[in-house]
Chain A
Amino acid sequence: MIPAEKKRADANPTKAFFVRMITRDITLEDCIFDLVDNSIDGAWELSGGHPLSLDDKTNLSAYKISIRIEEDRFEISDNCGGITLDDAVEYAFTFGRKDKAETENFSIGVYGIGMKRAIFKLGTQIDIRSTYEIDENLESFRVPINVEAWLASGDENWDFDIEESEHLDQKGVKITVSDLTEAARRSFESPRFIKNLRRSIARDYALHLHRGLVIEVQGKPVSGWTIELRQGGDFSPMRAQFENVMDGERVFVEILAGMAAPPPNDSEPSEDFDDDQNTSGWYVICNGRIVLAADKTTVTGWGTEGWPQWHPQYTGFMGIIVFSSRRADLLPLTTTKRSVDETSAVYRQFRPKMRETTKEWISYTNTRKQIREEAIQREAAAKAVPIFEVAIRQEVELPRIIQKTKVPEANVLYTVPRQRLRSLASAFGNINMAYKDVGLKSFEYAFKDLVGDE
């Protein structure tokens, strides 16, 4: 007989579990990006923009996000409107998004863990301050979090205290983290980490930066990547737009694909072939954020369902698929926002279109090998155009190259004493004849004698 008090197994979560688990499978850089995403969501909301397509002209130049990294401290601040006290009380600090929480604002946050995960990954002394406007009045609060004390206080109370605070210089949020974790401290000591962070911001937030948003690292603004496809001559990138209704909500999809750079003339990986530098491959963008860049793996189809695996021969191809929706949970992004949820319905629906385009390119690079010089000339006529200026076109256009019928060839290689070869060259009338020509001439001689006319 089970005693009454033992008829229920304790399934309550522990704080320590959350802190350990949610910070495990995400990089420090992606955690910082979660904080940037929150600021960007604020900026979009204030600007009233709806980033449905690349054609969107919303101006974000009034908004600035500043990141400052020191060896013992991290700080991010913005002027993107701040968190209201109500939102702080109800949603912002909850672990996981509540069912009734607002998700219909084109945000990139889906799961309601970004900020918590980021601050836990960064350090143990946290100060979150917000200044916002309500009824034309400025209001402010702060949430100080001492992670060690919070963990030590037991699993009964998960709440964070909210305190009065001075106003920030601008309406926005300022998060300061000190007592850094070992991983954060190590990375922040590395100038390489900071420079690579700038590079990743330049790439992953290229679309926001293009609209004027300012993201500063160490006081210096980051310039966004210019994403370009080549157009002109026989080349036209594809740019097709689609609209889907899922779960009663619209999802906009835009696919761009084509030649970003001429393919290599030597398809063998050379010494200077550098994966990191190589921008070829598929890009997946969800509500403005590049969640997957230059992908050459099965995630974007390479090596699956009859697609060949990526090969350096395909270098030069760039495909971009843009998903936008009021409801971020309909978009195919993972919780780390660094990859695609391959099981997502909308993603699976559009993958065949990605494949068609990719196959066009694969076929072009195969036939190109036979008319390399002509192809190089044709490719030179295509000029780089920013993706925002690419015209709508349902399919990618590449030069139609008629394959020449190829006569199978055989290479002959043999070695003979040099003196004998020289004697034969002399018998052919030229002692200085190249070895290759002696070989060819002797083949023709033997062929004519033994085979006769073809």
Chain B
Amino acid sequence: MASFDSVNYSIRPSKSVQRGLVFEGLRRIAGAIDLGNAVYVGFGSIWFTDFIQAHRVLEINDMVSIEANEIGFKRATFNKVYRTISVMEGRAKTRLPDVLGIDGFSARPWIIWLDYDSALDEEIVEDMQWVVTNAPPNSVVLFTFSATQNAYGKPVNRADRIRALLGDVVPDELSKEECEKETLPTTLAGLAADFLKSEVADAARPGGFIEAFRLSYLDSVAMVTVGGILPAKGAAAAARAMIDDKCWNGIVGEIIEAPPMTLREIATLQAELPTVANLTRARIQELGFDLHERQIRSFQQYYKYLPSFAEIVA
């Protein structure tokens, strides 16, 4: 089943936090390197959530959405939110070379976010290789895939499966413990980032690869987003300085897990923020409800990116 048939994924709270961090990052990258006249390439689905952000936050007009599902393609064409979005039918591996062939696109930076809902597989790895090898200078590339443990086989086989996918960047001593439910997202994020760096180094891109995004998040399934900048040679230093700055939020060590909360709870907690000190559980209890420590930390860290959902009964 295609993901648009199961859920409007724009309303997953952790996904919203991840998207918020990505677009905040992209906005800052646009301030450091020349993303003028950029093209946005992605999987818009029928919701075009990230396309709307790309247009509003980054003022990008030319956008390409790739849609593999036949009905999805028709619905995406019907639902596209701006006139300047082109919807292409087919799989990324066959359509990406066509995107590069669009007049002028090979000379403009791309912001390309291949936001898969499936687990990493050979096709995704090939797409990653294609993108980091072929994306024009000053492009920003992002890849999202599922890190749900069962998609990578039984615990004893997972390291071998990951090695079969990502090759020599996977250490020979990758352990079963590093591939368990709680650890797999971080492991995959690190190895996928190493894979991208190695591919770019092998392809001898003049500006190299600057890792800018490494985010794991959990709504009902664990997902991983990795990505970075492929700067033109002259832009590498500025891009690197920005990512090395301690204010950079695109690389998050722990898994983002936004707590499901009611509008009333959100409003009550939000009224306490921002604060220099950590919100305590005792304080939440004083306010009249309760949350796990992990949820409190996550809320305090990401409240600016959390969506508020309400059902409208028409």
> Which positions in A face B, CB cutoff 8 Å?
186-187, 189-193, 195-196, 199
Contacts and interface: CB of A to CB of B under 8 A. Distances in A.
21 contacts: A186-B201, A186-B204, A187-B201, A189-B197, A189-B201, A189-B208, A190-B197, A190-B201, A190-B202, A191-B194, A191-B195, A192-B167, A192-B168, A192-B169, A192-B198, A192-B201, A192-B202, A193-B198, A193-B201, A195-B171, A199-B168
A189 B230 CA distance: 13
Contacts of A187: 201
Q: Could you tell me the dominant secondary structure of chain A's interface residues?
A: helix
A58 B247 CA distance: 53
A199 B168 CA distance: 10
B172 interface: yes
B198 A191 contact: yes
Interface in B198-221: 198, 200-202, 204, 208-209
Contact of A195 (B169, B200, B204): B169
Contacts of A195: 168-171
A196 B168 CA distance: 7
B204 A190 contact: no
Contacts, number: 36
Interface in B155-207: 167-172, 194-195, 197-198, 200-202, 204
Contacts of A199: 168, 172
Nearest to B172: A199
A244 B42 CA distance: 69
B194 A192 contact: yes
A189 B198 CA distance: 7
A199 B167 CA distance: 13
Contacts of B168: 192, 195-196, 199
Nearest to B191: A191
B247 to A, nearest CB: 22
Contacts of A186: 201-202, 204, 208
A190 B198 contact: yes
Nearest to B209: A189
Which one of A192, A193, A199 has the greatest number of beta carbons of chain B within 10 Å? Answer: A192
Nearest to B190: A191
B43 to A, nearest CB: 27
Contacts of A196: 168
A192 B191 CA distance: 10
A189 to B, nearest CB: 4
Closest 8 pairs between A and B when the two form their complex, measured CB to CB = A192-B198, A190-B201, A191-B194, A190-B198, A189-B201, A192-B169, A192-B168, A186-B201
Contacts of B197: 189-191
Contacts of B204: 186
A190 B200 CA distance: 8
Nearest to A202: B172
A191 to B, nearest CB: 4
A143 B172 CA distance: 38
Which one of A186, A187, A191, A199 has the greatest number of beta carbons of chain B within 10 Å? Answer: A191
Contacts of A189: 197, 200-201, 208-209
A192 B202 CA distance: 9
Contacts of B167: 192
A241 B168 CA distance: 37
A195 B191 CA distance: 12
A25 B78 CA distance: 59
Contacts of B202: 186, 190, 192
B169 A191 contact: yes
Nearest to B201: A190
Nearest to A189: B201
Nearest to B200: A189
A224 to B, nearest CB: 12
Contacts of A193: 198, 201
A189 B202 CA distance: 9
A191 B192 CA distance: 11
B169 to A, nearest CB: 5
Given A190-B202, A192-B168, A192-B198, 9 more contacts: A186-B202, A186-B208, A187-B201, A189-B200, A189-B201, A189-B209, A190-B197, A191-B195, A193-B201
Contacts of A192: 167-169, 194-195, 198, 201-202
A185 B202 CA distance: 11
Nearest to A191: B194
Nearest to B171: A195
A267 B235 CA distance: 52
Contacts of B209: 189
A187 B194 CA distance: 13
Nearest to A276: B168
A220 to B, nearest CB: 10
A195 B167 CA distance: 11
A193 B204 CA distance: 13
Contacts of B169: 191-192, 195
A214 to B, nearest CB: 17
A196 B198 CA distance: 11
A186 B168 CA distance: 17
A12 B32 CA distance: 51
A241 to B, nearest CB: 33
B226 to A, nearest CB: 13
Interface string B123-166: 00000000000000000000000000000000000000000000
A196 B209 CA distance: 20
Which one of B169, B201, B204 has the greatest number of beta carbons of chain A within 10 Å? Answer: B201
